Amino acid sequence: MKSLFIEILNEYVWDDIHLRINTKTSKDVEVALCKSCQLNVDDFMALISPAATPYLEQMAVLSRKYTQQRFGKTIQLYVPLYLTNSCVNHCVYCGFNHKNPIKRIILADEQIIREVEAIKALGDFQHVLLVTGDNPRDAGVDYIENALCIAKPYFSSISIEVQPLQEEEYKRLMEAGLHAVYCYQETYHKENFKNYHPKGMKSRFDWRIDAFDRMGKAGVHKIGLGVLIGLEDWRTDVTMMAFHLRYLQKTYWRTRYSISFPRIRPHEGEAFQPNSVMSDKELAQLIFAFRLFDHDVELAMSTREEHKFRDNMTTLGITSLSAGSKTDPGGYAVYKKELEQFAINDDRSPDEIFNAIKTQGYEVVWKDWDLCLQ
């Protein structure tokens, strides 16, 4: 049975949304900027439109204001822990693509412990993101639950970014101590989705997008959304995500939400050329627009982005940063850097990132609970 959001999404025509965004005027932008109540998706379209370009400074000021009102002058640091690069999918933009001739690794228990201990030696991380490729046979829910239990004594908050699961499987992981689930739809363009995911479980558009409803029904504490910027027109894609966010907030109102902004990065295997290139200025515009659209949503940025840009965004809307990231299984202690999912763009140590945040007058928080109390 289809989720309600699939039914809602099917009512929107991609080209119509694209046209609505690109015909927004300066007056539409000014109306959105003057609103004191919650913005709707039509306002969001105005703020990400080309018409909003002259208003970026005003958007930045408001974004900083609303972020500080809700989160204070704080940035949460988290760290990803890649458990396996084994994957059945053939995603054209990913180094874990099943056809890539790389060594496939599934970390064993003792290797996970070594990775965890190496992470703790880097800094006082309390929020870890466990990441896997899609391999339900060899690294399915049993494996994920076991890894979660191994990591649990070391961290206060554990999140996952894995293949979409059944509702009961999410409930099972919640009982084991799971806090949040991050799942990126990659693109909301249903017709073109198959072009980027030609084979494997990820080629099932409806199954993936339905996962967010399954998370909500399972009572997941926090759900993270994102599109992979570069696959389709970014303005249209993020507008579909804004519709999705509003639906989830209304339907599963006890759950908190996070938005990420990953841009395509170099990876192992045949190079994928982005169909839509987003500039740093446009990414800043998107971050400001999301903060104005929703004052409470968490906005996260990974080490895909260059350090100067990340430093600038720490005071203008972002609430969560990864630090010291390795995108290869075993990358912290077990194996050399040779199995990456994608190349990172900010290779500073956690201490360097910590000091950069402090220099800007912001406090570092190490776990979700600290961020919730702001």
Question: Taking the domains of the chain in order of start, what are their residue ranges?
Answer: 4-372
Residue ranges in the chain assigned as alpha helix (H)? 4-9, 14-22, 26-34, 41-48, 56-71, 109-122, 141-151, 167-175, 190-196, 205-218, 234-251, 280-293, 307-313, 350-359, 368-372
Closest C-alpha among 54, 31, 21 to residue 285: 54
pLDDT tens track of the chain, all 374 residues?
A: 455 899 999 999 999 999 999 999 999 999 999 998 889 999 999 999 999 999 999 999 999 999 999 999 999 999 999 999 999 999 999 888 998 888 899 999 999 999 999 999 999 999 999 999 999 999 999 999 999 999 999 999 999 999 999 999 999 999 999 999 999 999 999 999 999 999 999 999 999 999 999 999 999 999 999 999 999 999 999 999 999 999 999 999 999 999 999 998 765 556 678 888 899 999 999 999 999 999 999 999 998 899 999 999 999 999 999 999 998 899 999 876 555 555 678 889 999 999 999 999 999 997 654 444 44
4-372 architecture in CATH?
Alpha-Beta Barrel (3.20)
Residue with the two structure tokens 């939400």: 257
How far is residue 191's CA from residue 309's CA, in Å, rounded to a whole number? 33
User: What is the pTM for the complete model shown?
Assistant: 0.94
